[in-house]
Amino acid sequence: MKIVVIQGPNLNMLGHREQNIYGPMKLEEIHTQMEGVAKQHQFEIEFFQSNLEGEIVDRIQECMGEADGIIINPAAYSHTSIAIRDAISSVSLPVVEVHISNIYRREEFRHKSLIAPVCAGQICGFGPFGYHLAMISMIQILGELTAMRKAQSEAQA
């Protein structure tokens, strides 16, 4: 099974930008930890980062037929992108939204995620550990979907 991790704008700057909010960990370090969890559970994992909304939409669409689930940190696009929301809705894959900071403790314009309603769940405020929680959540979701499909095919047989 394959999980695609999509990182939005400015996340390539982790470790450098606003360490008081995002901490000192770099994106590559987060990805290395996620690879460890994926390997431990026999999952394939792929990473994608872009500062461009259209590239993120394209990557979500490419996941259809290629991936089993998506973990996404749309960053600032969480609060503005109907295009990313529509792309998630169109691929019919489980998606977990993750944010390093607690968006509900920040500026009011960050309190509303346009993405969350089309996701299986949202994890925010746990720093880089939120990605670990997102991985465990996605593994659980995909396990449940696999068991459900198996039960359905056995019932039809």
In which order are the strands placed within the sheet that holds 44-49?
44-49, 2-7, 69-73, 95-99, 121-124
Q: Is 110 annotated as a binding residue?
A: yes
Known catalytic membership, residue 41:
no
Of residues 16, 22, 31, 77, which has the active-site annotation?
Answer: 22
Known catalytic membership, residue 99:
yes
Place of tokens 């993405």: 115
Of residues 99, 104, 131, 132, which has the active-site annotation?
Answer: 99
Q: Is 71 annotated as a binding residue?
A: no
Distance separating alpha carbons of residues 72 and 55, to the nearest angstrom: 13
Q: Is 68 annotated as a binding residue?
A: no
Q: Is 78 annotated as a binding residue?
A: no
Annotated binding-site residue numbers: 73, 79, 86, 100-101, 110
Give catalytic residues, as residue numbers.
Answer: 22, 99
Binding-site residue positions for substrate: 73, 79, 86, 100-101, 110
